[in-house]
A and B are shown apart, each in its own frame.
Chain A
Amino acid sequence: MIRLGLLKRTVLYLLAFGTVLVALFPIWWLVNTSLKTPLEFLGGGMTLFPRQPTLAHYREVVFERSFLRFFGNTAIVATAATTISVLAGSLAAYSLSRFRFPWKLDALFLVWALVIRTIPPIVFVVPLFIMFRELRLTNVRAILILAYQVYTLPLAIWMLLGFFRAIPRELEEAALTDGASRIQALLRIVYPLVTPGLAATAIFCIITTWNEFIYALIFARVPADFTIPIGIATFITEYRTLWGPLAAGSLISSLPLLAFTAFVQKHLLRGFALRGIF
């Protein structure tokens, strides 16, 4: 771009550093709180570094509270919901990327996915609640896996559509002329090529379900069924000042998410635009 004067450069650097500081300070505060002893915390919360760092809060969270149980619930629900969505979504996305449909069925499908992305998730919750009651489905994990399709399926279809479109048709057409059926061409040629795309999509589905709040809050009524976000929310609303364990638990539960996002840096923008953000 343009060459800048010295004064201008200094101002720009100061602004940039200020922004980094504002973005990082709350996160550092979380780390800081998780390492402080309760005594130091009550004595006045201004110290930027813990005087006597302790891992007691981490031990308490992992071994004494039902945190591991929440972690397990979240992992199971997120994985299963993602698997269903990526399987069904990849078949649909492949089909939508390759064929023309009568009555604009393809456009309808894609627009419907966007409409679902636009509608607030709380809207589906009353009918889903009654539906699962009528179906006598009481397993909270199963309920959440099915309900989360509202989020993950539109996300998977739209993300995968881009990945399938990027694969040249000629490759499968060569297989088709050699006598392979569509399914064979799809399984043997297209899926191996689109694997990175499938992985990125799966990661965004997992991030979405890992974060999900409303459905988990409404369907999980006893602590044994809680997912991590509900666990943290209960902690915030019920034990307002047990900050050490809260901070430690929050940090531990963020780690998988941070690791996942690191894998999908390239697709960050699309993924975050397509998933419902709160």
Chain B
Amino acid sequence: MVPEGARVQRSLGFFFREAIVRLGRGCNVLRLTFERSIHLWLLVPAGLLFLMFTVFPLIYNGYISLHHFQFIRRIFNFVGARNYIRLFQDGLFLSSIGNTLRFVALATATEVVLGTGLALLFNARLRGRRIMLPLVTLPMMFPTMVVCAVWVMLYDFEFGFLNNFLRFLGFSPIQWLSDPKIAMESIVLVDIWQWTPFVLLVILAGLQSIPDYLYEAAQLDGANGFQMFRHITLPLLSFQIKLAILLRLIDTFRIFDKVYAMTGGGPGYATETISLYIYREGFRYFNLGYAAAASLVMVFLVLGISILYARRMWKELRV
């Protein structure tokens, strides 16, 4: 017979021991589950940031775009698709799409053609290439606003270097940024100056991965320079060229800061782009619903263009 107290004591001890073991096992189970799902937990911080600052804003944008939302006068009324209808009746919005597409086409085409040419040039065995190449790529290292500052100085009608040079040669000066006919081209020129080096680097990377023996074999077969370029270089370079086009397309489409700083969308609305239009509607007039609708139209445009283009690229890559 065991005394009553001892039994209680033992069972109490038993209970505690059992509890601790179970708790430990529970912790172990928890730890194991944590360890087993660690890959999901590691995604949580980035996932939360994505949800808060990209997924939610996009969805919220859709919600706002269905409302007449005047921030200053505190108006928030449901209007359905009326913002979108108004957008496509607004000549200014349509012309801003036109201006943007013109900027994208001019800048991308020139940069890719020029960049490819320069890549071929700097792929040749020139002495001093190692010094020249970093110097040529210097423009893309500068902050965009500094680049704008430089070119505003060069373009200035009275004191700018370009017009002084023209006067020196006996020509009449040009209104680079205030003539509506060429203001956009002037901004395109700045973009070309800044980002052609980037295309140059992308293409050069492709060129340097083409093995020399292909050219040697072609030379043995009696191919001339142009034939080698047409049948060896160009086909092997096509992926790099398309990648450069895609990247420049995406980046020129969002053009904002150069236009804002150099012309402010003017003269008149000659250089107004979609980004600038959204900025003006949303943050000068505070028509936030309307600006949200314009933003979504912009998303569809840019995603449509780039997805179509990228899909064609991948298809060709697989074939």
Which residues of A approach B to under 8 Å, CB–CB?
1-2, 4, 12-13, 15-17, 19-20, 22-24, 26-27, 29-30, 33, 41-42, 44-46, 84, 87-89, 91-92, 94-96, 98-99, 101, 105, 109, 112-113, 115-131, 146-147, 149-150, 153, 157, 181-183, 210-211, 213-214, 217-218, 228-229, 232-233, 235-237, 240-241, 243, 246-247, 250-251, 253-254, 257-258, 261, 268-269, 272-273, 276-278
On whether the beta carbons of B47 and A45 are closer than 8 Å, the reply is no
On whether the beta carbons of A87 and B45 are closer than 8 Å, the reply is yes
Alpha-carbon gap, A118 to B305, bound state (A): 10
Known A46-B164, A123-B61, A261-B141: A278·B295 in contact at CB below 8 Å: no
On whether the beta carbons of A26 and B126 are closer than 8 Å, the reply is no
Alpha-carbon gap, A183 to B64, bound state (A): 42
Q: Residue on A with the closest CB to B279?
A: A122
Main secondary structure of the interface of B (DSSP, over half): helix
Chain B neighbourhood of A277, CB < 8 A: 195, 198, 247, 251
Contact of B295 among A45, A87, A92, A126 (CB under 8 A): A126
> 10 tightest CB-CB pairs across the interface, nearest first?
A120-B254, A95-B42, A127-B57, A99-B39, A92-B46, A88-B45, A213-B257, A127-B60, A229-B145, A250-B146
Chain A neighbourhood of B205, CB < 8 A: 269
As a 0/1 sequence over residues 32 to 55 of chain B, the CB contacts with chain A under 8 angstroms (1 = contact) are 000100111011011101100111
Alpha-carbon gap, A125 to B296, bound state (A): 12
On whether the beta carbons of A278 and B256 are closer than 8 Å, the reply is yes
How many Cβ-Cβ contacts under 8 Å join chain A to chain B?
282
On whether the beta carbons of B161 and A45 are closer than 8 Å, the reply is yes
On whether the beta carbons of B60 and A118 are closer than 8 Å, the reply is no
On whether the beta carbons of B298 and A123 are closer than 8 Å, the reply is yes
A-B residue pairs in contact (CB < 8 Å), sample of 21: A1-B124, A4-B124, A13-B126, A29-B161, A45-B160, A46-B165, A120-B254, A120-B298, A123-B58, A123-B298, A123-B299, A214-B256, A229-B145, A229-B257, A233-B261, A243-B153, A243-B159, A246-B153, A258-B141, A276-B251, A278-B256
